[in-house]
Amino acid sequence: MHIPVLLKEVIDCLDPQPNDNFVDCTLGFAGHSKAILEKTAPNGKILGIEADNEVCEQLKVKSSKRKVESKRLIVVNDSYANFKEIVARENFKNIKGVLFDLGMSSWDLENSGRGFSFRRDEPLDMRYASRGLTAEEIINKWSEEEIERILKEYGQERFAENIAKKIIDTRCQQPIKTTFQLADIIRQAIPRRFQNQRIHPATRTFQALRIEVNDELGNLDKALPQALEVVNKGGKIAVISFHSMEDRLVKNFFKNNKDLIREKLIKPSWEEIKQNPRARSAKLRVASKLLSCSELSS
């Protein structure tokens, strides 16, 4: 089961009230959204955007069993890069807040079968949606220089050059099709003394491939300005990020936009990290959209 990260903090920051409307740009299995719906009864709604069709179908089945929730939770299978188009298409108005939870769910890692985890022997897919570029295509068709670049840029991998070279050498002999094949190549490319660190040797490479396959940073960069445009004045944008590139993008967007007031950075408590170790790298940034002078004085 996926445990929503920083749940209490998200609720405190967004401050949902009865009949408020929100957009959850990364719906998943609706951990945060269910808590928001409880606060926004009886008529508040959530527009939930989810890129993964299989997750959407599972969620629709579950929510249909709870009639009140199903009427108030609108599930859309799309990318949050299309934020404004989705909101317009669904005629969703009066938006009090927008949430992005950029972390992977436990289901993605353990049940999707798409090769997100190096601990399971699965095809090298790594797509959230069932279309577009796969990790297998990158590993088997991209140049050594391109592979090295994404490992450095998106994975901050110090041994990117070694790993890229080993990938090229291996694929010349046979195609690289599975997570276990790739994890073994990475292990061989990294010096032995660095293989027993706290972080698994394949972590950064798998992260980099996932980000590239799903254009995660590009989509976030497109979505944030759209969220700001659509959210009500006085409303909030909340983003939970899990690595430095995401956090830096969000921080700079909030900092450089004169229509936003930033709030203090929030990190998970030690108690939460003990209960859910995947929360350890989470950071929550929240900003409020400025009211006009006339609205402030009224």
Question: Could you read off the pLDDT of 41-72 as tens digits, one per residue?
Answer: 999 999 999 999 998 988 877 776 665 466 89
Residue 80 lies in a domain: yes
138-145 LR contacts (CB < 8 Å, sep 24+): 138/209, 138/212, 138/213, 139/167, 139/171, 139/176, 139/182, 139/209, 140/171, 140/175, 140/176, 144/168
User: Domain of 28: which CATH number?
Assistant: 3.40.50.150
Residues 237 and 90 in one domain: yes
Residues 184 and 90 in one domain: no
Residues 99 and 116 in one domain: no
Q: What is the DSSP letter of 114?
A: S
Residues 6+ apart with CB under 8 A from 32: 4, 7, 10, 24, 99, 101
What is the per-residue pLDDT across 213-249, written as a single tens digit (0 to 9) for each?
999 999 999 999 999 999 999 999 999 999 999 999 9
User: Domain of 132: which CATH number?
Assistant: 1.10.150.170
Residue 74 lies in a domain: yes
Provide the domain count of the chain. Answer: 2
Residue 2 lies in a domain: no
- Please say which residue of 190, 214, 238 terminates a domain: 214
**Of 293 and 182, the one with more pLDDT:** 182
Residues spanned by the domain of 260: 7-107+216-297
Residue 1 lies in a domain: no
Instruction: Sheet with 283-289: list strands edge to edge.
Output: 73-77, 46-50, 21-24, 95-101, 236-241, 283-289, 260-262
Q: How far is CA 10 from CA 123, 238, 280, 283, in A?
A: 35, 7, 16, 11
Residues 147 and 264 in one domain: no
pTM over 0.85: yes
